[in-house]
Amino acid sequence: MLITKIYKPAEIKQAAGELNKGELIAFPTETVYGLGADATNELAVKRVYLAKGRPSDNPLIVTVSSTEMMEQFATDISEDAKKLIKNFWPGPLTLVFNIKPGTLSKTVTGGLKTAAFRMPQNEVTRRLIELAQVPIVGPSANSSGKPSPTTAEHVYHDLEGKIAGIVDDGPTQVGVESTIIDMSTDKPLILRPGAVTVEEIEAVLQKQLNTDQHKVGADETPKAPGMKYKHYAPDAQVLIVEEGKWDAALTWAKKQPVSIGIMVSNMQGKTIPENCELFDLGDDVKQASHNLFAGLRYFDDKKDIKWILATGFAEEGLGIAYMNRLKKSAGDQFFVD
């Protein structure tokens, strides 16, 4: 077993040295913490799949500190893509491009002819990549299937003893992962909703995006391979409570012979029954997105909690990304009275 070291931002030179030795280092971004390894070191990348327990056909994001670094690997970068880079990088937008043959291993791309590239806002992480002088892979730094980590403590909880270190730069800001757009086809396709909204992207591109994200069967090859796997799921069953249904949901909860977790936004006027425990999601969809994964993890560690009731938001703006994650954690189950 490895001893997992916690690095302060001032200690990233050491952390970069570990990356260059093929070790795994978790890093902060504005969305969630990522699990870093030298993207050009096949053995190091293989260890990322092992540490996370991630299926090997689910490719990894390549995290870069500059567009020049990306251009060593990516090709066919359209005018539209250049506009997106100019407007949203560094930031929570991941872009899928064709790759120059032979530049990235199958272990990174899962055998696809494309790869997903991201330049995060977090300056400590961009400096870490500059110091390492190689791009780093960056899947979320959680055990596969669990909610993504929004603090260094979450990473430690899942990966202690499996990775060399974690660069701790405090809680992340956004709380849900980046928006992913496939830019390798003529019509840009949204593969995963995130902090950069469809409206913001369409405003920059001056055209409508393809948002057709159909559900993928187990035997199909999905566009974003990660979409087919169980995600963000705590041990308890999550039920989504829509606006106007909280009174009925709390009445139902009170009658249950088990403990229930309540993740609610804007508590005003609601009385929490005795068998229920509250996790406050904050005042609005922005705060709720920031707190969602922490709430799911909070209740996951309490083995007596059998159900989690969680607030649903309207599917517009950031609400699309929030509901995408919440629906996955709930297996699409809503509270119905």
- Residues in touch with ligand TXA (CB under 6 A): 29, 31-32, 34, 58-61, 92, 94, 96, 109, 112, 114-116, 118, 120, 138-140, 177-178, 180, 191, 223-226
178 annotated among ligand-binding-site residues: yes
Q: What's the min distance (Å) between Cβ of 268 and ligand TXA?
A: 32
* Residue recorded with tokens 């995408």: 324
Give the three-state DSSP class for 166.
strand
| Secondary structure element (H or E) that encloses residue 45, with its range | helix 42-52
Q: What's the min distance (Å) between Cβ of 253 and Mg ion?
A: 30
Choice between 40 and 109, CB closer to ligand TXA: 109
Q: What's the min distance (Å) between Cβ of 231 and ligand TXA?
A: 9
Site for Mg ion in 58-117 (CB under 5 A): none
DSSP string of 174-204, one letter each residue: S-SPPEEEE-SSSS-EEEE--SS-HHHHHHH
CB 275 within 8 A of CB 260: yes
| Secondary structure element (H or E) that encloses residue 137, with its range | strand 136-137
47 annotated among ligand-binding-site residues: no
Q: Which does 52 bind (CB under 5 to 8 A by kind): Mg ion, ligand TXA, none?
A: none
Choice between 35 and 288, CB closer to Mg ion: 35
Query: Distances in Å between the alpha carbon of 85 and those of 70, 76, 90, 209?
Result: 11, 14, 8, 16
Q: Which does 94 bind (CB under 5 to 8 A by kind): ligand TXA, Mg ion, none?
A: ligand TXA
322 annotated among ligand-binding-site residues: no
Say which residues have a Cβ less than 8 Å from residue 247's Cβ, sequence separation at least 6: none
Q: What's the min distance (Å) between Cβ of 112 and ligand TXA?
A: 5
> Which residue's beta carbon is nearest to the bound ligand TXA?
226
Q: What's the min distance (Å) between Cβ of 268 and Mg ion?
A: 34
Q: What's the min distance (Å) between Cβ of 57 and ligand TXA?
A: 9
Q: Which does 152 bind (CB under 5 to 8 A by kind): Mg ion, ligand TXA, none?
A: none
114 annotated among ligand-binding-site residues: yes
The span from the CA of 318 to the CA of 324, in Å, is 10
Q: What is the dihedral of CA 196, 175, 27, 330, to 10 degrees?
A: -110
Look at the alpha carbons of 217, 57, 90, 85 in this order and tell me if their dihedral is positive or negative. Answer: negative
Q: How many CA atoms, within 13 angstroms, populate the side-chain half-sphere of residue 231? A: 19
Task: List the Cα angle 163/168/171 in 5-degree steps.
Answer: 120
Q: Which does 116 bind (CB under 5 to 8 A by kind): Mg ion, ligand TXA, none?
A: ligand TXA
Q: What's the min distance (Å) between Cβ of 37 and ligand TXA?
A: 12
Choice between 119 and 240, CB closer to ligand TXA: 119
CB 328 within 8 A of CB 232: yes
192 annotated among ligand-binding-site residues: yes
Peptide bond into 90 cis (omega under 30): yes
Site for Mg ion in 128-187 (CB under 5 A): 140
Choice between 58 and 151, CB closer to ligand TXA: 58
**CB atoms inside a 10 Å sphere around CB 9:** 17
Amino acid, single-letter form, for residue 15: A
Query: Binding site residues, as ranges?
Result: 31, 54, 58, 114, 118, 140, 148, 178, 192, 232
Applying CB under 5 A, the residues found at the interface with Mg ion are 140
Q: Which residues are annotated as a binding site for ATP?
A: 54, 58, 114, 118, 140, 148, 192, 232
| Binding site, annotated residues for L-threonine | 31, 178
